[in-house]
Structure 1
């Protein structure tokens, strides 16, 4: 007739079956489910720890990008290292601005309590993220293809940039297509992958640091591998996060289904 649900954290109140009406059993089930949801939220890890860590990881490339914008707007001296940016400033300006917004705004999407409390904000921010991610990927690809290569950048590094830049663009497009189909799980997975690639410059600063300290400036081949390592590390962490969460969800769903089924059989 009606459900009797128990989550293990907030068991349904026990009333004598003879005095337990259908409304009582329904109310107990609703309280149990709501209690489980409250317990899940309250027992979670600090909601702002991960977003803060992601913004911190992206701080180095964002600071470098701000310095580049200052250089371009202040009319700094043109050198062999920055001549390509002065010759065609639009792609690099679009890239720096879009990546900065993508890094900061995307980090807040990893705050689950914030998302649950402000679902409207999550959707609006998601639209901005898709736009910024596409601009960041396309401008990065354009710079790889058409900017003169600086010293130390060879064919292998250019190939890595084209592969991962295209993968970022594809991830965002697939995430957008998934949410249009209301496939939230695939949307989440592809957005995480796209964000991981977009945050690659932050991890690349960490992969370069030990080499600089031990060996000095890396050559063409080591530099390509160190840059690729940043993207690979981020994607490995992203895949771990994607594959870890659905297991917990499926277990919770299975537990609720079996409990509901048992309640129906008893009633």
Structure 2
């Protein structure tokens, strides 16, 4: 549970920041700030109040994500809308701020902002993001065991891979270390990929390029590299695993969601929970359970 809260930290901090701005804006516009001999006291009062509001907002955000994780993107948008409403109300025309219309207007603004950030409106433009993450975790086990469990397609003992959505992994007969891959995504649909290993150093280091199956004009939108490093911890029966994933030219909506979710860190939490056979709070695990129920 606490790992999920931590992985969503950027979302909580984002909401807390805009909530504190809303609080400061409201207090200033309401005439709380008086430029007199007590201006320092007024400023300190505003700062303290904003800090309390930010802390409370972060707690509410954490609770919301825990209870309704599928709606987590509402956290950042609600914070932005509240700030815009607070900061701009005094500058907007009467027909916007009129009580019979303002709710409709702000719902419309919410929909517009949501579609710009997470909708498909920006997909038609050549606006892309690069996304690279490195995360580490330590678990009990040998490097050989972890290699067989983590690195897809190179299992030497016929074991299972960490990825339950992996349906097909076939090496091409005419190319070494090049595989055609299928992942289940639910409702009898599959995501197809080609992966090509650049580095294979059993059982410590592997890196591959993954490429989704799209038309040639858009192939770079689902491409990147995945790297595994497995290092035994001296004097123990444990290993430290380092994962690095880089994706180039990601759609804006995907890049934002991965950044707010700490996507690779969340995947690491799923891996660790699954390896240790513990309850999995991660969004990665939740998505896989949903897909399994639909497959």
Same fold (TM over 0.5): no
Per residue, is there more strand in 1 or in 2? 2
Per residue, is there more helix in 1 or in 2? 1
Q: TM-score, normalised by structure 2?
A: 0.23
